Amino acid sequence: MEALGFPSLNSHSISCSSSQKRRATKPPCQRTHFSSISSPSSLKLTPSYRSYNFRRSATRMQADSEDYELKQMRDMAAAKKRWEALVREGKVKALTPREAGYAIQLSNKTLLDVRPSTEHKKAWVKGSTWIPIFDVGNEFDAGTLSRKFMNFTMGGWWSGVPMLSYNSQFVDKVSEKFPEDTDLIVACQKGLRSLAACEQLYNAGYKNLFWVQGGLEAAEEEDLVREGPQPLKFAGIGGVSEFLGWTDQQRAAAAKEGWSYRLVFSARLVGVIVLADALFFGAQQFGHYLQDIRSH
C-alpha cells in the first residue's frame, strides 16, 4: 500500500486525552488501532477511506500520464517544423535510399545508423557506423515504469515497439569518430529520428549532412548492401503483429512470395487459436476438479 502512495491505516491510532486519563471512575485508557475498532460505524469508514485514496491515486496517475503524452505531442509538432526547415533551407540534404547507396559505394561517404538496438540487431548496412540517438531505456524508477506500462498497453504489445530514451552522449560519440567536415549520411528506420539526429549534429558544427528520406524501411534489397538476419524493411516490426504476419511489410512480401509465405503465418494463427482453446478448456477442467475436491 505505501509503495503505491496510500497511507498505512495501521499506523493511525486513537489515544485518550489527558483529562480522560485522570478520571478515577474509568479504567486506564489504551491505544486503539483503526484495524481493531469493532463498532459498525468504524467498519464502514475503513473500506470507504481506502477506496477514496485508491480512486484519488488512480486519477492522479492517469492525469500525469495524459500530461506527459500531451507534452510529447507538442514537442513533436515543434520539432517537425524545425526539421522541415533544415531540409527546406538546404542545411540538410535529402537522399533516397538508392541515392544513399550510390553515395556510399562511389563517394565513400559514411552511413551513420542512429536506430535503437532492437532494430539495428535485425539488419544493418554493411560498413555503417551505429550510434543510436534513442535506445531502449534500462531505468526502473516509478515514472519510467509507469510510462513503459502505458507504452505496452497502448499498443506496444501489438507492434513490439519499446519505450525509448534519448542518448545524451550521442553527439559526443559521433565527435569521437568523425571530424566536423565529414560527409555523413544519417539514417534511421522510418526517417524521423534521423532528422532529429541531423538537427543535433548541425547545431554541433556538422555542415555536410545528408538525410535518408523515408528511412531504411523504404530501401529495396538492391539499394544498399545489407547484413543481418532480416531484410531492412522488417527491422522495425515486432510484437504480436509480426508473429502473425499482419504488418504492411509482411503483406507486401506475401504478395510477392505467394501462398508458401502466407501458409507459415496462417499456421501460426491456427496454433494460437488452438492454444487459447486448450488453455480455456484446461482452466474449466481444473475448476471442476477443485469443486469435486471441496465437495468430498
Q: Which residues are catalytic?
A: 188
Q: Hey, which residues does 184 pair with through a beta bridge?
A: 110, 209
Query: Under a CB-based contact definition with an 8 Å cutoff, are residues 125 and 111 in contact?
Result: yes
Q: What is the dihedral of CA 37, 42, 44, 49, to 10 degrees?
A: -100
Pairing between strand 164-166 and 134-136?
A: antiparallel
In order of 80, 100, 286, the CA distances from 217 in angstroms are 19, 13, 47
Torsion of CA 269, 271, 272, 277, to 10 degrees: 130
CA 15, 16, 18, 22 torsion-angle sign: negative
Q: Could you give the CA distance from residue 80 to residue 143 in angstroms, rounded to a whole number?
A: 26
